[in-house]
């Protein structure tokens, strides 16, 4: 099996795992990964994460021209913006996960620091998560908003829509977006309580040790 064939299979396997565990539903969510020759494999528009077909993934060559597969997700501008502004990006995942969406709708949701400092793992895998305003799904302006961050974020939360994570590899991107949703769930469970959060010094230590994305937007 070629390296690209293995990547196709892995995309579909990881997507199905997220679907089976309720991290995205119906035909929502999209995923892409960099191919060995510098192109992209992208989930088709209107498809379920639970039923992706490796042979039907949209394939783009290194120049950005589609050469195989079905029509790609309408969120291509979002994916392209991460690949363009974060040169080491090897995969981008976008979900419509419930708790992160719920947290994004609250009037006191953090903008430059969407996730509260509950556990170290979100900082280790995601760095600082930026909350972006609502955009119509598929609006090219989403890509412009990501470009406006100048590569300083590996993860964003689209208000009333869902999280997006760019990773150095496919598994890393999937693990990180799951951590984002898990932390959002904790934040929703703790609303109205007075939990002990990580201190600024503890967060700074994580930033230093793990070299996470922490630049100002």
pLDDT in tens, 45-59: 999 999 999 999 999
d(CA 100, CA 123): 16
Whether residue 181 lies inside any domain: the answer is yes
Out of 3, 9, 75, 112, the active site residue is: 75
Whether residue 120 lies inside any domain: the answer is yes
Number of domains observed in the structure of the chain: 1
Give the DSSP H or E segment for 122.
helix 120-126
Is residue 121 part of the annotated active site? The answer reads: yes
Is residue 83 part of the annotated active site? The answer reads: no
For residue range 82-138, what is the model confidence (pLDDT) as tens digits? Answer: 999 999 999 999 999 999 999 999 999 999 999 999 999 998 999 999 999 999 999
Out of 3, 4, 121, 179, the active site residue is: 121
**In the predicted model, what is the mean pLDDT of residues 183-212?**
92
**What CATH number does the domain containing 117 carry?**
3.40.225.10
Its pTM stands at 0.95
Structural domain of 132: 3-210
Angle at CA of residue 178, ends 175 and 181, nearest 5°: 155
């Amino acid at each position: 099996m070629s390296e690209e064939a293995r990547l196709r299979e892995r995309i579909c396997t990881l997507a199905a795992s997220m679907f089976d565990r309720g991290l995205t539903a119906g035909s929502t969510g999209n995923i892409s990964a960099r191919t060995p020759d510098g192109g992209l494999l992208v989930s088709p528009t209107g498809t379920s994460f639970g039923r992706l077909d490796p042979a039907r993934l949209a394939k783009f060559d290194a120049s950005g021209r589609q050469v195989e597969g079905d029509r790609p997700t309408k969120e291509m501008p979002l994916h392209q913006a991460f690949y363009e502004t974060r040169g080491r990006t090897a995969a981008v995942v976008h979900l419509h996960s419930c708790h992160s969406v719920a947290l994004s709708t609250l009037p006191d949701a953090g903008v430059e620091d969407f996730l509260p400092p509950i556990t170290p793992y979100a900082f280790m895998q995601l760095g600082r998560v930026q909350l972006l305003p609502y955009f119509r799904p598929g609006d090219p302006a989403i890509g412009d908003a990501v470009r406006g961050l100048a590569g300083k974020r590996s993860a964003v939360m689209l208000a009333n829509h869902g999280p997006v994570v760019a990773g150095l590899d496919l598994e890393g991107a999937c693990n990180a977006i799951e951590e984002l949703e898990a932390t959002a769930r904790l934040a929703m469970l703790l609303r109205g309580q007075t939990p002990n959060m990580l201190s600024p010094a503890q967060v700074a230590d994580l930033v230093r040790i793990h070299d996470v994305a922490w630049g100002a937007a």
